[in-house]
């Protein structure tokens, strides 16, 4: 399998051949591991010692805000997929909220997404890139390790994003960006607000991102099959509110450039609802839908919902 499928010719990732996403080594990453373990310790130990209803309410509100406006709208639907238009100041606010999830800087997250997306569209890829191992090993890999490919594809980020000084600043300082929020929360509600509003929020965001990523490539319904792809996306039902609509991952594999992820009746998509509201306020426009995207030869619609576990 040396030839690349035609649908990958206009991808941010560029590789000489399809094998480049197969061979690699998963190695322990102390920075990634300590970041997650440190936040989890703060959440479970500090959170238990300082428990209060107000702190838990702050955790819920702050987590929902960064997942909806930050991760789903800012990082994913705007920066990565450019599925809607908005003023630059609003894009900056949304992407800054995305950095608050605590996964990576904006450029690093974009690179990770593009590498995964590229690898998953090829006929075969490393298990790390498609969540192809048991949940235990996958959790260890994704939360504590990095994959080093022998010949990694080059990911070219367009100059508008790559040369943006604000994004470069966030890329260098994404972990430190928790500090101003932590200080604000400390002044507002003491250590309880820091443990719940920062540590528990980051723990939930990072762990939830892995958990949904695992299920979204292993278990769940499918409306569409991407022929020739190493792995299919899955729709995970009953997790709309937890994921802000990102759970409709089978739809996303089929229509990556669509601003709307929940496409059928009953597929509640809070991210899309927020975009519709922002459009009514005149803050976003040109929301792209599946019908606006170029046809894909490898896309096959499955008539009935297939539930695979």
- Taking the complex as a whole, the smallest distance from the CB of residue 212 to Zn ion amounts, in Å, to 10
Contacting Zn ion within 120-149 (CB under 5 A): none
Q: What is the DSSP letter of 19?
A: G
Query: How many CA atoms are closer than 13 Å to the CA of 52, on its beta-carbon side?
Result: 12
CB 223 within 8 A of CB 235: yes
Contacting Zn ion within 68-97 (CB under 5 A): none
Euclidean distance between CA atoms 205 and 244, whole angstroms: 12
Tell me if residue 277 falls in helix, strand or coil: helix
- Taking the complex as a whole, the smallest distance from the CB of residue 132 to Zn ion amounts, in Å, to 12
Tell me if residue 90 falls in helix, strand or coil: helix
- Taking the complex as a whole, the smallest distance from the CB of residue 168 to Zn ion amounts, in Å, to 22
Alpha-carbon separation of residue 244 from 138, 164, 189, 239, 268 (angstroms)? 23, 27, 27, 8, 9
- Taking the complex as a whole, the smallest distance from the CB of residue 216 to Zn ion amounts, in Å, to 6
- Taking the complex as a whole, the smallest distance from the CB of residue 94 to Zn ion amounts, in Å, to 15
Euclidean distance between CA atoms 147 and 128, whole angstroms: 7
Nearer to Zn ion, 42 or 233 (CB): 233
Nearer to Zn ion, 46 or 233 (CB): 233
Nearer to Zn ion, 67 or 198 (CB): 67
- Taking the complex as a whole, the smallest distance from the CB of residue 199 to Zn ion amounts, in Å, to 27
Euclidean distance between CA atoms 73 and 80, whole angstroms: 10
- Site mask for Zn ion (CB under 5 A), range 184-223, x = bound: ----------------------------------------
Nearer to Zn ion, 97 or 109 (CB): 109
- Taking the complex as a whole, the smallest distance from the CB of residue 125 to Zn ion amounts, in Å, to 11
Nearer to Zn ion, 70 or 233 (CB): 233
Euclidean distance between CA atoms 112 and 29, whole angstroms: 15
Q: Please, what is the angle between helix 165-173 and helix 88-99, to 10°? A: 10
Nearer to Zn ion, 121 or 196 (CB): 121
Euclidean distance between CA atoms 16 and 28, whole angstroms: 27
- Taking the complex as a whole, the smallest distance from the CB of residue 139 to Zn ion amounts, in Å, to 17
Q: Which single residue is written with the structure tokens 């762990």?
A: 207
Nearer to Zn ion, 130 or 201 (CB): 130
- Count, residues near Zn ion per rule CB under 5 A: 1
Nearer to Zn ion, 104 or 194 (CB): 104
Between the two ends of the chain, the Cα-to-Cα distance in Å is: 29
> Burial, 89: exposed, middle or buried (Cβ in 10 Å; 0-12, 13-18, 19+)?
exposed
- Site mask for Zn ion (CB under 5 A), range 218-247, x = bound: ---------------x--------------
Residue nearest to Zn ion (CB): 233
Kindly list the residues in this chain that would bind Zn ion in the complex (CB under 5 A). 233
């Amino acid at each position: 399998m040396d030839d690349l499928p035609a649908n990958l010719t206009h991808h941010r990732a560029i590789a000489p051949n399809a094998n480049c996403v197969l061979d690699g080594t998963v190695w322990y990453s102390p920075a990634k591991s300590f970041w997650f373990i440190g936040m989890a310790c703060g959440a479970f130990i500090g959170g238990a010692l300082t428990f209060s209803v107000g702190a838990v309410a702050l955790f819920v509100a702050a987590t929902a805000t960064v997942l909806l406006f930050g991760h789903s709208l800012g990082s994913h639907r705007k920066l990565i997929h450019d599925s809607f238009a908005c003023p630059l100041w609003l894009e900056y606010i949304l992407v800054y909220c995305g950095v608050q999830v605590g996964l990576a800087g904006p450029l690093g997250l974009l690179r990770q997404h593009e590498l995964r997306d590229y690898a998953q569209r090829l006929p075969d890829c490393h298990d790390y890139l498609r969540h192809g191992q048991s949940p235990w090993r996958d959790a260890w890999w994704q939360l504590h390790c990095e994959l080093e490919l022998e010949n990694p594809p080059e990911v070219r980020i367009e100059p508008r994003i790559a040369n943006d000084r604000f994004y470069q600043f966030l890329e260098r300082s994404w972990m430190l960006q928790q500090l101003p929020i932590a200080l604000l929360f400390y002044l507002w509600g003491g250590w309880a607000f820091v443990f719940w509003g920062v540590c528990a929020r980051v723990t939930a965001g990072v762990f939830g991102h892995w958990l949904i990523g695992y299920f979204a490539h292993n278990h769940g319904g499918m409306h569409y099959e991407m022929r020739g792809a190493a792995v299919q996306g899955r729709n995970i039902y009953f997790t709309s509110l937890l994921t802000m609509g990102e759970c409709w991952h089978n739809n996303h594999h089929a229509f990556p450039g669509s601003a709307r992820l929940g496409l059928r009746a009953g597929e509640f998509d809070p991210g899309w609802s927020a975009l519709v509201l922002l459009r009514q306020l005149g803050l976003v426009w040109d929301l792209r839908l599946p019908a606006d995207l170029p046809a894909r030869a490898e896309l096959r619609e499955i008539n009935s919902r297939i539930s695979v576990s």
